[in-house]
Amino acid sequence: MRHIRWGICAIATILTLTALQASPVEAQHGHTTLPHQILLPDGWQPEGITTDGRFVYSGSLVDGAIFRAGVRSGTGQVLAPGAAGRVAVGLDFDRRRHLLWVVGGSTGEIRAQDARTGDVVATYEFPSATPRFLNDVVVTRNAVYATDSFNQELAVIPLRSGHGHGSTLPPASAATTLPLTGDLALQPGFNLNGIVESRHMLISVQSNTGLLFRIDPQTGDTSTIGLNGALLTGGDGLELQGRLLYVGRNEGRVDAVELGHGLVTGAVVDTITDPTFDVPTTIALARHSLFVINARFNTPPTPGTAYWITRVDALHH
């Protein structure tokens, strides 16, 4: 996510939009018609998206509210109302616990929210002497990892084994950080952004340099994934489909990177564009489709500004 500034939008205005329909523009995939666009509430200011396969979930930068829409119907409503001082940047769905992990940008917090009700079941704070921007998040079997775009470390919440809801979550005191070493070098602006897991390693993109990194989740060692000179400048959210890595880029495109064995190298093999893309940020993969957030960072946000999710076909892989 690039550096943004957002104003205060009326919470009541957003929450009155509790049922939005899909755009009448539709796209055909196989035998199922899926919406080409899913409308978000006016003034929403989205950045993150995740999916459980049936629904997509989008957070609001305004007040941390969560919107949920069916991937087939495109119909959605506010699942979790926002609150003053709360922010939702990146999100990831936790299948083992049926939770949404939501990172809070400059607030320096990560919330676990019930994916059925939207209720906050746990909050983890990451205080720092320097400004933070917790940007994107991935949940693995062993931990929750969030990128900090201003600091050379990951925010980490170790997870206990098992299934269930809040009873399996660690206490707030378990929140910790993992310093990052190796090839990563911070530059002015937004650094590490999107993050995914592959083969017990983490992958993240550095937005300001366009470099892609492999991260050892145990040691924090980072290694550049060589892309034959290609750069993913403005790279934001990541989504993984086997060895195919989708990279949302703020420049108005989604690049597909074929990752090599060992995550040492990769190659940009395709670029996806769409007339409705307007500063793509994060991506969710469901039903052979990519659901792409349009953050519209170049459009001054107002309570009446329109926002939407664009659905495009995923690549055959």
DSSP per-residue letters across the chain: ----------HHHHHT---BPBPS-EEEETTEEEESEEEEPTT--EEEEEE-SSEEEEEETTT--EEEEETTT--EEEEE---TT-----EEEETTTTEEEEE-BTT-EEEEEETTT--EEEEEE---SS---EEEEEE-SSEEEEEETTSSEEEEEE--SS-SSGGGSPPGGG-EEEE-EET----SS--EEEEEEETTEEEEEETTTTEEEEE-TTT-EEEE-B-TT---TTEEEEEEETTEEEEEETTTEEEEEEEPGGGSBEEEEEEE--TT-SSEEEEEEETTEEEEEE--TTS---TT--EEEEEEEPPP-
For domain 11-313, say whether CATH 2.40.50.840 is its number. Answer: no
Q: How far is CA 239 from CA 136, 150, 168, in A?
A: 12, 22, 27
pTM of the model: 0.90
Rounded mean pLDDT of 56-63? 98
- 279 vs 4, higher pLDDT: 279
Mean of the per-residue pLDDT values for the chain?
90
Q: Identify the pLDDT of residue 32.
A: 60
pLDDT at residue 15, rounded to an integer: 36
Say which range, 37-51, 66-80, 149-163, has the weakest mean pLDDT: 149-163
For residue 224, pLDDT beyond 90 = yes
Domain ranges across the chain: 11-313
| Distance from C-alpha of 312 to C-alpha of 317, rounded to nearest angstrom | 15
DSSP of 138-179: EE-SSEEEEEETTSSEEEEEE--SS-SSGGGSPPGGG-EEEE
Summarised one tens digit per residue, pLDDT across range 159-197 is 986 555 445 899 999 999 999 999 999 999 999 999 999
